[in-house]
Amino acid sequence: MTNTTTNTEIDTDVSVNTDVKLNNSPVCVVTGGSLGIGLAVCKTFAENGYRVVNLDIRYFDVAPLHCEWVKCDVSNVSEVEKALASVAQDYKRIDALVCNAGKHVSATIEETDEALLDSIINLNIKGAYAAIKNTLPVMKAQQSGAIVVMGSDQSYVGKQNSFAYGLTKSALASIAKSTALDYASFNIRANAVCPGTIETPLFHNAIDNYVSRSGANKNDVVAEEAAAQPIGRLGQPQDVAELTYFLCSDKASFITGSLHAVDGGYTAQ
């Protein structure tokens, strides 16, 4: 499961800690960083010396230090373009980009109408497209950069009732590989992190929706999900954030164009 943007009205378009722009530390842009996996990613990069810019439609529940929030509907290409132009102007660099914004839909192809299909493609695929396209000029100019797209175990395998979501996660895997090949000569790396079942607000929303339809006991459903993982537990957002940070670090300088499962062994079965 991946993070999702949600509607929360905020009076200001930007919230930033006062010292976030006052040094020459590396800069990481995260889409959909206000909760779940995205929030863990923001915190991890900030704790490792990055200035972090979170593009999300909602504000942080609790803003991490050294993290700026820019109100942005990531499903809207022009809003992403505008936000990243502002980041480039303010910071003069973008060292890492994490395309995390996304949403999950449980439905077969027959249950997926065109409007629903458009909405998930706009956020999960076009949001990543817009973020990468508008970050690459900065990374090319500085001759360095690391990009991570947030795939899924469904970047590897299919699942029932997941037509549109699986489609988008397969597309993101392809985006990571093609971007890696097209921009390797600029010392820009691109990889996909592919989480399995991660305990996030999105996970609990999906479970709640299932429970409301089926009448099942939520505790039993959560326990079944944990038991379905070979390692015997649900993943946590920090599990994904640590791998994401590593792939953007110099320690991963020879890793590009690859998919990295963080799924407790699920896709190894």
CA distances from 49 to 23, 40, 239, 252 (A): 10, 15, 19, 17
Axis crossing angle, helix 218-227 with helix 201-214, rounded to the nearest 10: 120
Residue 92, sorted as left (phi over 0), alpha (psi -120 to 50) or beta, turns out to be: left
**Catalytic residue of the set 129, 165, 245, 266:** 165
Does residue 249 sit in helix, strand or coil?
A: coil
Tokens 């469904």 correspond to 154
Secondary structure element (H or E) that encloses residue 3, with its range: none
CB 172 within 8 Å of CB 121: no
In the residue annotation, 59 being an active-site residue is answered as no
Six token digits for residue 77: 């290409």
* Rounded-to-integer distance, Cα 149 and Cα 198, Å: 16
Tokens 């699942």 correspond to 159
Cα atoms found within 13 Å of the Cα of residue 96, Cβ hemisphere only: 31
Mind telling me the catalytic residues? 165
